[in-house]
Structure 1
Amino acid sequence: MTEQLLDRALVEEATKKSGLIWVRGSGAPAPGAPGPEAPTQALWHVWHDGAACLVGDGPGEQPLPGLVDGGDAVVIVRSKDKGGRVVAWTAKVVELAPASPAWEAAVAELKGKRLNATDGEEMPARWARECRVLRLEPQVGTLPLPDGSLAAVPLPTSATTRRPIPAAVPRLLFKKRGRRR
């Protein structure tokens, strides 16, 4: 019993302090049911009322692949200062119904943490129309952390890297200025 309480405290404290969690959804609505395993993805969240709350799957919001209502997810929490893994835990995914009391409370917390929102006060209404708000509710216990690297091939994207800067730019930026007389 004491170990469960300590695990719960570790999950809560580490997840509260981390602004980013790594989540892999099972894609299956029931434990043990076959479903495609989604990639592990970094997601911003808030800790509210004993669970990690997320918003996404809408225009301008983070994608939530493999996170289905009633399904399971694995959450890996990193250290905010060092970036290393602190704890991994399993969660039950619960989708909150728009305008329900639980949805309103979660959205109030999420709204305060959402950076660079273009629609300000209209954001909750847009989330209700176009997005999903999820709770990742911790299950009993924690998962053992892996010994090796979890590095993976990056997912395909249309993003490109910067091209080399033109040769003249460093000369223009760093040329010595003549002395004034």
Structure 2
Amino acid sequence: MTDTLLSAALVEEAAKKSGLIWVRGEAPAARPLWHVWHDGAAHVVGDGPGEQPLPGLRDGGTAEVTVRSKDKGGRIVAWTAGVRELTPGTEEWDAAVAELKGKRLNAPDGEAMPERWARECRLVRLDPRTATTELPDGSLAAVPLPSPGITRRPVPAGLPKLLLKRKRRRKA
């Protein structure tokens, strides 16, 4: 019982302090989503013009949520969430939108944003089902793809001469 309460408190506190959560629904990869923690669950809005995509989050499904540290970026906690889409105009939807509205940065329509969300977007509630899941041992970092932009090449022969000329001009 105490472990369950501590795990639930960890999930809530970590999600409240983090600006992004990493969510993997039925899509193959996790995506970072901005959210707000309200009424015991994470709420995300998206799938509309100018909003974040919510791939793989379907009503009645589940999702794996990972919360990372805001300052260091390391994983703090991971949990399984039940996905529930909220219906516009309900009391629950209005309360969640009031919280989300204050956190939405660079909205193109300002005060008209809630009406646009009701017309064109989805508001999804991610309810924690299991307090925590096992964190993987490895980093889960993908190996970078080969690219000429990251490959070191020899310094061009004329570059040292150009750099020395600049230094001489500054001294004079």
Bin of the TM-score, shorter chain as denominator length: 0.7 to 0.9
- Structure 2 SS opposite 1:93: strand
Misfit runs of 4+, over 6 Å: 174-179
Residue correspondence of structure 1 range 85-96 to structure 2 within 5 A: 85-96=75-86
Give ranges in structure 1 of 5+ residues lacking alignment. Answer: 27-36, 155-160, 162-170
What's the counterpart of residue 168 of structure 1? none
Asked if structure 2 preserves the Cα contact closer than 8 Å seen for 1:21 and 1:42, the reply is yes
- Distance in 2, Cα, partners of 1:65 & 1:151: 21
What is the RMSD computed on CA atoms of the aligned residues? 2.1
Residue correspondence of structure 1 range 39-78 to structure 2 within 5 A: 39-78=29-68
Give ranges in structure 2 of 5+ residues lacking alignment. Answer: 150-162
The 3 A distance-change label for structure 1 pair 71 and 153 is farther
Which has the larger Rg? 2
- Distance in 2, Cα, partners of 1:177 & 1:106: 59
Asked if structure 1 preserves the Cα contact closer than 8 Å seen for 2:17 and 2:70, the reply is yes
What's the counterpart of residue 102 of structure 1? 92
- Distance in 1, Cα, partners of 2:98 & 2:143: 36
- Structure 1 SS opposite 2:130: coil
What's the counterpart of residue 11 of structure 2? 11
Residue correspondence of structure 1 range 160-171 to structure 2 within 5 A: none
- Distance in 2, Cα, partners of 1:25 & 1:92: 10
Asked if structure 1 preserves the Cα contact closer than 8 Å seen for 2:15 and 2:21, the reply is yes
Task: Give deviations 1:55-99, integer Å, cap 9, x for gaps.
Answer: 000000000000000000000000011110000000000100011
- Distance in 2, Cα, partners of 1:101 & 1:94: 15
- Distance in 2, Cα, partners of 1:143 & 1:135: 19
The 3 A distance-change label for structure 1 pair 153 and 25 is farther
Q: 2:135 aligns with which of 135, 145, 155?
A: 145
Which AA in structure 1 matches 2:102? G
What's the counterpart of residue 109 of structure 2? 119
- Distance in 2, Cα, partners of 1:91 & 1:136: 5
Tell me the CA shift for residue 178 of structure 1.
10
- Distance in 2, Cα, partners of 1:148 & 1:101: 42
Q: How many residues align?
A: 152
Asked if structure 2 preserves the Cα contact closer than 8 Å seen for 1:39 and 1:65, the reply is no
Which AA in structure 1 matches 2:7? D
- Structure 2 SS opposite 1:139: strand
What's the counterpart of residue 79 of structure 1? 69
- Distance in 2, Cα, partners of 1:147 & 1:38: 20
